[in-house]
Every structure is written in structure tokens, then in C-alpha cells.
């Protein structure tokens, strides 16, 4: 804020003019002298100080309104994100859904029941997302970050999680038939009541997975799995899993 101080009264013109050493300096001195008078007169005008206070007050009011309306702006942003997701439902491609999903998850909005089936969502980052009863069937999620995501009772049939990070994710009662998990990180993932029939688990990291209550693993390909828990491979093969290195199968 400007500090207003009463200025000293300018000297008389003949005193100022006499200080000019050259004639060409007189116009410049005259302009400066008039400016000093204007500043002198305005410094005694209280109305300008009032305007300065009002200007500062208006800034304060604007700041108050900005924060008071922040909740409405967040709601509007969430509404637009959901609109993007719902409008693109059932369509291929991304359609802005990657950004919309990540924005909602960053604001800790539950993504329960979302339908992004057949979408192209490579590189999606939804760490710790609540994806209960969601539909990701035939969705391309290669190289995505889905650590600790909750896929309980989700439809993941034919989804592509190739090279995805699924550490600590929960797949309880999920349909993971024919899912692509090639090279994915499944460290600590929970497979309670999960159907992994026909899944491609080749080279996946199975460190500390919860597997003893798997519902089905028939025809799942476990070739080259990394860090399998003790007894898992033998159990899987006895229950219909296969070890096949070929890409064709």
C-alpha cells in the first residue's frame, strides 16, 4: 500500500528558473516544477488515500470470495470429469478419460462401478483407487500404475495389464478370465475368490501374493513367473494351469 506523506511546497518559479545553466534546460525544469506542484496538491487530498484503502479492501474481499467458492469449483471440476467418463462409455480410445480418472482419484473420489470397458488407457495412474465393481473388460492398461487399487468384484475379462504395476492390488471375487498380466508386478496382490482362467501370467512377479483361495486358474499360463510363493506352481499345474513359452498360445 502507498504511504501518503504531505510533500513540501515547491519553490517559486523564478528560483527554479535561475538554477538553469543553459536555456535549453528551461522547458525540462518547467515540466518538473509543474509536476512537483501536482504532487504537492495531491498529497493533501485525502480522497486519494481513501481510494487506496478501498483498493486494498477490494483485494481482501476477492480473496475471501475465492476461498469461499473453492468447494463449488471442485464440484464443477468433478462434474466435468464424470461427464467425460460417462460420455465415452463403451467407446474405444481414451477420450480424455485418463486425465479425468486421475483427477478424480487425486481428489480421493471413489470410482466405484465405473465402466471403461474397451478403452485405451495405457499408462493410467490410479494408485490406491477404489474401483469396486468396475468394468475394465478388454481395456488396454499396459504399463499402468495401479498399486494398491481395489478391484473387488470387478470385471477384468480380457483386460491388458502387460508390464503394469499392481503391487498390493485387491482382486477379490474379480473376473480375470483371459486377462493379460505378462511381466506385471503383482507383489502382495490378493486373489481371494478370483477367477484367473486362461490368464497370461508369464514373467509376472508373484512375490507374496495371496493365492490359496483362488477360485480358478485353469488354462492360465504361468511360464517364467518370478518369485512364486512356495507350493504355488505345483498347485496351479495340478489345477489346470500350463507352462507354455510360445506367443501363439
Angle between helices 70-87 and 97-106 (to 10 degrees): 140
The pLDDT of residue 233 is above 80 = yes
Largest CA distance in the chain: 113
Least confident of 16-30, 146-160, 217-231: 16-30
99 CB neighbour count, 10 Å cutoff: 12
Q: Is the pLDDT of residue 147 over 90?
A: yes
For residue 80, give Cα distances in angstroms to 75, 93, 189.
9, 19, 33
pTM over 0.75: no
236 and 193 part of one domain: yes
User: Does pLDDT of 5 surpass 60?
Assistant: no
Domain that holds residue 103: 93-249
Q: What is the pLDDT of residue 74?
A: 83
For residue 81, tell me if it sits in a domain.
Answer: no
Q: What is the mean pLDDT of the chain?
A: 86
C-alpha to C-alpha distance for 51 and 72, rounded to whole angstroms: 32
One domain, residues 164 and 123: yes
Based on the fold, state whether residues 134 and 222 are members of the same structural domain: yes
At 154 the pLDDT is 98
Q: Is 134 exposed, middle or buried (0-12, 13-18, 19+ CB in 10 A)?
A: buried
The pLDDT value given to residue 165: 98
- Residues 124, 199, single domain; the answer is yes
Assess if residue 239 is contained within a domain. yes
**Reported confidence tier of residue 88, pLDDT bands at 50, 70, 90:** confident
Q: Residue 175 is part of a domain; what is its CATH number? A: 2.160.20
- Would residue 8 count as lying in a domain? no
pLDDT tens column, 177-195: 999 999 999 999 999 999 9
Amino acid at each position: 500500500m502507498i504511504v501518503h506523506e504531505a510533500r513540501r511546497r515547491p519553490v517559486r518559479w523564478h528560483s527554479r528558473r535561475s538554477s538553469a545553466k543553459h536555456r535549453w534546460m528551461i522547458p525540462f525544469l518547467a515540466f518538473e516544477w509543474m509536476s512537483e506542484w501536482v504532487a504537492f496538491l495531491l498529497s493533501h487530498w485525502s480522497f486519494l488515500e481513501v481510494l487506496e484503502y478501498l483498493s486494498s479492501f477490494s483485494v481482501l474481499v476477492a480473496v475471501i470470495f475465492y476461498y469461499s467458492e473453492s468447494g463449488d469449483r471442485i464440484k464443477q471440476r468433478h462434474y466435468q470429469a464424470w461427464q467425460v467418463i460417462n460420455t465415452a462409455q463403451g467407446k474405444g480410445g481414451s477420450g480424455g478419460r485418463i486425465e479425468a480418472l486421475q483427477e478424480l482419484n487425486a481428489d480421493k473420489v471413489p470410482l466405484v462401478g465405473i465402466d471403461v470397458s474397451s478403452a485405451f488407457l495405457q499408462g493410467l495412474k490410479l494408485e490406491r483407487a477404489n474401483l469396486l465393481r468396475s468394468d475394465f473388460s478388454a481395456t488396454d492398461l499396459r504399463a499402468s500404475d495401479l498399486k494398491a487399487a481395489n478391484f473387488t468384484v470387478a470385471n477384468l475379462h480380457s483386460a491388458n495389464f502387460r508390464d503394469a504395476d499392481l503391487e498390493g492390488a485387491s482382486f477379490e471375487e474379480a473376473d480375470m478370465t483371459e486377462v493379460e498380466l505378462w511381466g506385471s508386478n503383482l507383489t502382495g496382490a490378493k486373489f481371494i475368490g478370483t477367477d484367473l482362467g486362461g490368464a497370461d501370467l508369464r514373467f509376472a512377479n508373484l512375490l507374496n501374493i495371496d493365492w490359496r483361495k483362488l477360485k480358478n486358474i485353469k488354462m492360465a499360463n504361468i511360464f517364467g513367473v518370478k518369485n512364486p510363493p512356495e507350493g504355488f506352481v505345483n498347485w496351479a499345474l495340478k489345477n489346470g494351469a500350463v507352462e507354455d513359452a510360445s506367443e501363439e498360445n
